[in-house]
Amino acid sequence: MYIELKGIKKNYGKKQVLTDINLKAASGQCIGILGGNGSGKSTLFSILAGVNKHNGGSFSCDGNELFKNKKLRRDLVGYVPQGTPLFEELSAYDNLLLWYDKKEIEYQLSEGLLGILGLNTFLKTPVSKMSGGMKKRLAIGCAVANSPKILLLDEPSAALDLVCKERIANYLKSFKANGGIILLATHDAGELELCDEIYILKNGFLTKFNYDGNVHRLVGSL
């Protein structure tokens, strides 16, 4: 499996946010996308997820255009935005019931991804009383209910503690190992270790960056 972004554009009135976005990724790859605040990372991810409209370009998987095939995109793509689109008055378990049946929840908690994310430790907790890390882990659990092959993660570990970051990283490693493709927008240097390739989004363009572990050089490029 492979995906390709080609010539994606987005403008808000006269402001050009995305000018010409091009990218390829294959099964088992995690592509890191870095950029300063306001560079357009969240805009790009929301377009790929179908939340926002684009002004040009294509998003394909194995040659199938996903912008034109909404059903296929829903089947293939899981999206975790910066915010946590959860029902605050419901518990973690009740939020999961909106996406899974009961038997699948039980299986995933004992043998699958929900267990990896550690959701069984706060199933009865209302979202309104959860920490940021709990909400993010639950949001990821909901986003992958349809077993997507492509995962869009917009700063998944921002402001999380080390335990939460490790749980998310463990899940992402498992997702890659099973042939999934991850597009990861991040500001976290630790998450760069998960990435097979890194791109910088700046002035509406994506540029490949050869990261050698030198954070200062990376910051300079941003």
- Asked whether 43 and 18 are in contact (CB, 8 A), the reply is yes
Structure tokens at 101: 């049946």
Burial status of residue 95 (CB atoms within 10 A of its CB: 0-12, 13-18, 19 or more): buried
**pTM exceeds 0.85:** yes
The answer to whether 129 and 53 are in contact (CB under 8 A) is no
pLDDT of residue 221: 61
Q: Name residues of the chain where pLDDT drops below 70.
A: 159, 211-222
Domains of the chain: 2-85+148-221 (3.40.50.300)
The residue count of the chain comes to 222
